Structure 1
C-alpha cells in the first residue's frame, strides 16, 4: 500500500498548488461568462485580469494568505464568483486562530452584505442570486461555513497527529533512557560478581605464592613465586580499574601507562621467561600521551599473546620514530614446544579499534613461522 500511495502524494505535493491556481482561474472565468454563475457585463479584459489575479492568489497560499482573501472579496463583489472565496474560507479554517479568525468571519460577513447591496442595485439575475434571503444563507454556508469547517477539521486532525507523534517520540526517548538504566544496573551487577569471584581467586593465588616464596628453599622456586605474587597483585589492580569503569564507581581516573613504562613491561616479560629484546629506530621525540598509551597497549597485548602461544620463541619489540608518527612492531619467531594457552582473540580486535580511532592501522599476521604485530600510529590523530 505504501508504494502505491507515495506517487500520488508526491504529485499532489509538487503540482497541487499549480493545479489549484488553474482551477480557480478557470472557475472565475467560467462564472463571469455565465457558464457556472451570473454573467458579468464587464469587459473581457477586466474579467481576464480578475481571473488571472485569483489564480495567482490561490497559487501563493503556501507562503501568503492576504492575496487569496483579497481575490475572494473582489471576485464576489465584482463578478459574483465564488471560487476564490471557497479557497479563502478553507485557508482561514486551516491557518487562522482566535482573533484573526474572528476578523476573517467579520470580513466575510461584510463582503456578503456588500454582495447583497450590489445585487439589489444591479437587479436581474444578480439580484436573485446574491440578494434574496434564501440564496444569501445558502451562499454563506457554501462559501464560508462548509469550507471553514473543513479547514478546522483538517487542522484539528493535523494537531492530533502531531501530538501523537510527539508523544510517541517522548515515549521512545523514555524507553531508551529506561533501557540505558537497565544496562547500567546490569553492568554494575556483572562487575560486582566478577570482582567478587575473580578477585577472590587471584587473591588466593597471591597468598599462596607469597607463602611459597617464604617457605621454598630453591632459589628458582622463590623467584617464580615472587613473580606470581607480583603479577597477581598487578592483575588485581588492573581488575579494579576495568571493573571501576563498568561500575562507574571510581572517583578518579587512574592514568594508563605509556612508553615510559615499556622497559618495565619488557623486564616483567623476561622475568616470566620470554626472550625479548628492544630496538629503537629514528630520533626519539616527545609524543602525545594518547599515542604513548596506545603503543604501550600494542606491545603489552602482543607480548601477552607470545606468552600464550610461543613462550619459547625469540621476540623483538621495535619502535620506529617517524616524522609524522610512530611504528610499533612486535615479532616472534616460531615456537618449538607447540603448546599454547587458550585465547578468544578479543585483545587484538580491541587494539585495532583503538589504533583506528587515532587514524592509524594495525596489522596482525603470521610471519616466517612466527607472528607479527605492527601498528602505525600517526601524530595527527593523537593530538
Structure 2
C-alpha cells in the first residue's frame, strides 16, 4: 500500500462508522423517494425513522451484527431499499463462518422471497422491480452474492496477511534462536582455545616461577619469582572468570573493580618494577559505581601500556575530583629505551567507547617524550 493511501486510511478510519451510517441513511432515504429505487407511499416520518435506524445499525456492525441484518430485512420488505442489505451481505462474508453464514444465506433467500410477495401485492413499479424473475435474479446477485463474495475475499486476504505476518515473526524468532546458538557455540570454542593456549602457558609460567622460588639462593630472585607466581595465579583466576562468562549461554557480567581497588592496582605495578605515584586533587566525594569502574579501567589500561612500552619511565596517576565528574590522568615520562611488549592497539579504542557511553571523552597523546592518557567522566552520564 502506498504511503499516501496509508495516511488517508489513518485519517479516515476513526470516522468510518459515522461515514458509513450517513451513507446508508442517505441511500435508504433516496430509495424511498425514488431516486435510487422505488418511490414509497409511506409517510416521510416512517421513511426517516427507517433511514436513521438503518444508518445506526450499519455503524454498529463491529459490536453487533443482528441490528444491521434486521434493518436490511425491514428496509427491503417495506421500502425496497438495498443499501443496508448490501452492507449486511458484505459483513456476513467478512465475519460469519460455517452455520452462521449458511443461516444468513437462508435468511437472505427468505427476505428476497418476501420481497417478491410484497411486490406482487403492491403491484406497479414495485412489482416490476422486485417480483419479475430477471430482476429477482439480478437483485439476488447484486444485493447478496456480490457483496458476500467481496466480504469473503477481504476476509481471506486478511487471514492470509495475518498468517504471513505470523510466519515472518516465527522465522525471525527461529533466526534469532539460531544466531544465539551459533554465538554460544562460538563463545564455547573461544573459551576452549583460550584455555588450551593461554591457561597452559600461564600455568607453566607459574610452575617454573614456583620452582625458581624454591631453588634460588638470591633473595631478589626469590622475591621476583614469588611475584611472578602470585601474578600468574591471579591471571589464571581472572582467566577462569572470563572463560566462565564465555561458556554461559545468556548474558553475564564479570565482576569489575572500582576506585577502592586502585591502590592495589598501583601496588601491583610497583611490584612489577614501575615507578608509579598517585595524586588526588579536589574534594574527594562519593561517585557512582559506573564512574569508579570506568576510572579503574582507564588507569589499568594506561599502566598496562606503560609496562609494555615504557617500563623504565616515571608515571603519575592523578584523580581530579570535579563538581560534575571525575578527571583521570595517567602520564609517564620519556623512556630510555628497551624492549617493548607486543600489543594490538585495541585497548584504548575499547576504553574510549566505554568512556563515551557515559557521555565523557578520552584523550591519548604523546607529551614531552612521554605519553598522557586523560579521561573526563561526568557523573550525569552514569546516573
TM-score by structure 2 length?
0.80
Q: Distance in 2 between matches of 1:327 and 1:152?
A: 69
Q: Deviations over 1:279-300 (max 9, x none)?
A: 1223444555444333322211
After TM superposition, give the deviation of residue 128 of structure 1 in Å: 2.9
Query: Following superposition of structure 1 onto structure 2, how do residues 20-31 of structure 1 map, counting pairs within 5 Å?
Result: 31=31
Give yes or no for the alignment of 1:175 onto 2:175. yes
Could you say if the C-alpha distance between residues 62 and 339 of structure 1 is closer, same or farther in structure 2, counting changes exceeding 3 Å? farther
Deviates more, 1:307-316 or 1:16-25: 16-25
1:14 to 1:253, Cα distance in 2 relative to 1, 3 A: closer
Aligned length: 378
1:76 paired with 2:68, answer no
Deviates more, 1:10-19 or 1:131-140: 10-19
Shift in Å, 1:224:
3.6
Distance 1:62 1:315 in 2: 77
> Does 2:367 correspond to 1:368?
yes
> In the alignment, which residue of structure 2 is the partner of 1:302?
302
How far apart in 1 are the matches of 2:166 and 2:54?
A: 38
Q: Which moved more, 1:346-355 or 1:103-112?
A: 103-112
| Equivalences for residues 275-294 of structure 1 within 5 A | 275-294=275-294
In structure 2, the CA distance between the partners of 1:113 and 1:232, relative to structure 1 (3 Å rule), is same
The alpha-carbon deviation at position 148 of structure 1 amounts to 1.7
Aligned-pair Cα RMSD in Å: 3.8
Match of residue 347 from structure 1: 347
What CA deviation, in whole Å up to 9, does each residue of 1:220-262 have, x standing for no partner? 5444433333322222221111111101299x98743333332
* Structure 1 residue aligned with 2:208: 208
Contact 2:362 2:375 in 1 (8 A): yes
Change (3 A) 1:161 1:288: closer
Structure 2, unaligned stretches of length 5 or more?
none
- Sort the Cα spacing of 1:51 and 1:256 in 2 relative to 1 into closer, same or farther, 3 A: closer
Secondary structure at 1:342 match in 2: coil
Cα distance between partner residues in 2 of 1:109 and 1:205: 95
Q: Deviations over 1:7-45 (max 9, x none)?
A: 456556656959877876776566555566434446789
Distance between the aligned counterparts of 1:285 and 1:238, measured in 2? 30
Q: Identify the range of structure 1 (276-285 vs 127-136) with the bigger mean alpha-carbon deviation.
A: 127-136
1:38 aligns to 2:35 (yes or no): no
2:260 matched to 1:260?
yes
Question: Helix, strand or coil: the match of 2:186?
Answer: helix
Q: Which residues of 2 match residues 79-158 of structure 1 at below 5 A?
A: 79-97=79-97, 101=101, 104-105=104-105, 107-132=107-132, 135-158=135-158
The answer to whether the aligner puts 1:314 opposite 2:314 as a matched pair is yes
CA deviation after TM superposition for structure 1 residue 366, in Å: 0.9
